[in-house]
Structure 1
Amino acid sequence: MGTTCSTNCIRDHDHYAKKNQCPQDDLESSLSEHRVPLTAPLVVQVVKRCKEEAPTRRLLRYFTWSCKNLGSELEDREFNCAIRVFAEKKDHRAVDILLSDLRKDGRVLEAETFSVVAEVLVKVGREDDALGIFKNLDLFKCPQDKTTVASIVNALCAKGHAKRAEGVLLHHKDKISGVESCVYKSILYGWSMQENVKEARRILQEMKSKNITLDLYCFNTFLKCLCECNLKNNPSGLVPEALNVMMEMRTYKVIPNSVSYNVLLSCLGRARRVKESLKLLDSMRRSGCAPDWTSYYLVARVLYLTGRFGKGNQIVDMMMEAGLVPPAKFYYHLIGVLCGVERVNHALELLDRMKKSLIGNYGPMYDVLISKLCRSGDFEKGKELWDEAKEMGIFLECSRDVLDSSITKVFQPKWKEKVREPADQTKPDTQVLNSKLSGHRNPQKRRSKRKQKGRSKKKAAST
């Protein structure tokens, strides 16, 4: 009986929190008339249940009304839970209001709540506000310990604010005992986002001096920073410097994995360096580092983009022979690349290979191909794929209107092939040459003019 009553109470409160057609003051009056006893667990449960459906401001009004009615019965734990919900909903105004109320009521801000709030504020460009809360954590009765220091550093570095994060670390070095590795890895990632190789190398050296283990994550992060920087500023040093880092990794007994090679393969693909991509893929296999599906995707992609479709198909076959079963997005992205370079026939062949591997989730591929075929004017093939998808029970997101030639606009390429007009037989070749050389003066006329000028000068001298 008690369970049924509490369920009905939650359902009623859900209804009031979600309802959005009543006047501004109707929510509070409706809740006040409700006779079911209000409890702190009930409020938290309603807030969590309604966070995906109710408007955030209406949910905030419900929570504010609950705070006024419950008073001290609403504990700090429930209040912190509500702040995290509004932070996850990215309602920054609601977070500001609740933080102000928490501070006025003398409540305790939990470290977990601060971590979520700091991350959300930095993501929207309010890193100053996040640092302001961190500097005044004592006003929120929250200690500046290793958890909060690591949280603010991680939040700042996630958006590339490595210098500001190092400023926090400089003033709180004595508080990061036990989380030094986590903090320094965050700062390394921050400098990597800025593609600052010099500072990233300095962090690695500092970690080494503090006896912090340099693991695979550290080297892969630095390798990405180095490759991205060289891709823009020093393309010739892209491969040799990356291979030097991999040799350095082995001196620390850290073996490069497929992620390490994929970082370099990605940059080589963006630079359209096909031969080096193929060579690197082969060296992976010979060195004992088995390529994953991402490695094969990066190489096949650059081959398709540069018009080497047969070789790209061989790479896909090589992956399948290695026993790798890629996810559906592997084929989806490659089919998108082939459609982008106007090679729909090759994209259809790739779809057949995908169906033979029995991966499933064919819907997005059919959507791309049907739309591409119809917009290219091949409505018959598009209709054939549509019927095939329906027979297989595949759900399609594209509308059936795309199959209607009177609705779908056929893509017309902007460039047109130049057609040479047949030469005019009535016009002699000498006339054509004269017309082309019409801008050039007759040399005989030039000589006559020079003689006339010379005669006039002699007459003037004799007079």
Structure 2
Amino acid sequence: MAAPARLSTRLLNICISSFCKAHQVAKAESVYVDGIRLGVLPDVVTFNTLISAYTRFDGFDSAYSVLYRMEKAGVSPDVVTYNSLLAGAARERELSKTLHLFDEMRQRGIVPDVWSYNTLMHCLFRLGNPDEANRVFKDIISQGLEPHTATFNIMINGLCKNGCTANALMLFRNLKRHGFVPRLVTYNILIDGLCKARRLAAARRMLMELKSSGYTPNAVTYTTVMKCCFRSKKFEQGIEILQEMMSNGYTFDGFGYCTAAGALIKSGRRNDAFECMEKMERSGIGPDIVYYNTLMNYYCKEGKVGAAFELVGEIQSRGWKCDEYTHTILVDGLCKAGKVKDAQGHLQYMNDIGLSSDLVARNCVVDGLGKSGKIGLAMKMFKSMKLKDSCTYSSMVHNLCKAGRYRTASKLLLSCLKSGIKILPSARSAVINGLRSCGLQREAKTLKSKIKLARVLHH
């Protein structure tokens, strides 16, 4: 009689697991209730399945309440039970609950395994406590537990995400010396961390090391390094990565193609950018809003603002909405084409359709008014803006200098220095040189001294 009971419980667990995987926890609970009604008793696997589902779909508190039901059913939790609860607490960034679970495990005589510690480390890193996470890593080693590859990946990823890229690289080197064989995912984590820290040279060296280790970089590896090259304005290096990726048979997703095309536009290689967009279409990837934004940017850079506006109709015909970036590209394109009045009209249209977060578009119009010689209107709009950033102030200072209003530019620059607002070095130099050219040597010298002082105070 014992064998059929085990088989029935196993069938119960399979049904509950199937409903949980389908995100239908309520139905899983119904199966659990029906099973008990039919005399099929749950076991630890039954409850662990429910706990895991609750942590993912309903939250830690709901999952933890299952423990009481386990006790009532006479089923003792195991390390898998607590690992699921730890994962739920870590997902909600509840460090106090995570630590409480460790204490509770020990009180029940359940010994935490390497996955328990992995989860605690991950939680500590997410909360910005790399030193505490490192202590947990040392505990794993000191207690004789065998670290999993995931343990090292969590450490390297966590250190990178917390700005400790040098420590992550050092750990990687030490691990290799002690026989750890990194996998492709480990290299990708480290390359991503180096790229985010703007350590492009180190990231490229790591890419070469990856290849010499016998691994083949995947699309994630190439795309990560390529984007870093473009962000660092190393366009030629980025294009080399792009060509290598394509020669190895990898294809981009739509975002990857648009990233490459956008960078090519910025580097002045507009024909290559257009060819990149054509390759995207030939590869069968359907256009999306990012594609259209990139294409609009291309047309605006070419001075074809009319062609850019024609794309708006195509976007709408597909049932999509132009986003804030789309309209900002159009406003910028109009300003660069000298159609500042039209740009102002489009800015008003953005407000009318509810795009209130239009700082970049407003900056474009202020700059356009200044460059077209309408410095009075530019100042009026500048003063009316409730939200301004460094670009707003730098643009206004530049345009005031262009209009020969150096003293006004100097006053605006000084107000920025007092407020801690960063102004582009070229804008600062324009004011100082302008004052000197007008014979205002003392004012230029005083301003230069105040700039140095502000740099020290706001460092």
TMscore range, shorter length:
0.5 to 0.7
Native 8 Å contact 2:235 2:264 kept in 1: no
The 1-side partners of 2:438 and 2:223 are apart by 56
Partner SS, residue 163 of structure 2:
helix
Q: Which residue of 2 aligns with 1:378?
A: 304
Q: Which residue of 1 aligns with 2:129?
A: 196
Please tell me whether the aligned partners of residues 293 and 324 of structure 1 are also in contact (alpha carbons under 8 angstroms): no
Pair 396,297 (structure 1): closer, same or farther in 2 beyond 3 Å: farther
Verify the 8 A CA contact 1:196 1:225 in the aligned structure 2.
no
* Corresponding residue for residue 319 of structure 1: 245
Amino acid at match of 1:169: F
Is 1:328–2:265 an aligned residue pair? no
1:267 matched to 2:193: yes
Unaligned runs of 5+ in 1: 1-74, 232-237, 424-431, 441-463
Q: 2:274 aligned with 1:363, yes or no?
A: no
Which residue in the other structure is 1:300 paired with? 226
Aligned to 1:118, which of 55, 64, 71? 55
> SS in structure 1 opposite 2:71?
helix
2:218 counterpart of 1:218: no
Amino acid at match of 2:50: T
Q: Does 1:152 align with 2:93?
A: no
Question: Whose helix fraction is larger, Structure 1's or Structure 2's?
Answer: 2
Question: How far off is 1:371 after superposition?
Answer: 5.0
Task: Report the Cα distance in structure 1 between the residues aligned to 2:75 and 2:264, rounded to whole angstroms.
Answer: 55
Decide whether the 8 Å contact of 1:158 with 1:189 is kept in 2.
no
- Residue 175 of structure 2 is aligned to residue 249 of structure 1: yes
Q: For residue 230 of structure 1, give the secondary structure of its aligned residue in structure 2.
A: coil
SS of residue paired to 1:212: coil
Superposition deviation, residue 302 in structure 1: 2.0
* CA–CA separation in structure 1 for the residues paired with 2:40 and 2:212: 61
Question: 2: distance between equivalents of 1:368 and 1:437?
Answer: 46
CA RMSD of superposed structures (Å): 5.2
CA gap 1:336/1:247 in 2 versus in 1, 3 angstroms? same
Q: Contact 1:119–1:155 (CA<8 Å) still a contact in 2? A: yes
The corresponding residue for 2:139 is 206
Which residue is equivalent to 2:160?
227
Paired AA for residue 154 in structure 2: T
- 1:340-393 Cα distance to aligned partner (Å, 9 max, x none): 9697936434324545xx643232364343454577773554589899x99xxx
TM-score (normalised: structure 1): 0.55
Give identity over the alignment, percent: 16
Write the distance in 2 (CA, Å) between the matches of 1:288 and 1:82. Answer: 39
Query: For residues 310 and 12 of structure 2, what CA distance do their matches in structure 1 show?
Result: 62
CA distance in 1, matches of 2:226, 2:78: 49
TM-score by length of 2: 0.55
TM-aligned CA distance change 1:292 to 1:80, over 3 Å = closer
The size of the alignment, in residue pairs, is 333
Are the structure 2 counterparts of residues 78 and 354 from structure 1 closer, same or farther at C-alpha, using a change threshold of 3 Å? Answer: closer
Give distance in 2, aligned partners of 1:279 and 1:312. 14
Q: Which runs of 5+ in 2 are unaligned?
A: 1-10, 335-341, 348-360, 372-398, 406-434, 444-459
Determine the structure 2 residue equivalent to 1:451: none
CA contact (8 A) 2:262 2:294 kept: no
CA contact (8 A) 1:157 1:165 kept: yes
Q: CA deviation at 1:247?
A: 2.1
Q: Distance in 1 between matches of 2:139 and 2:221?
A: 32
CA distance in 2, matches of 1:316, 1:186: 36
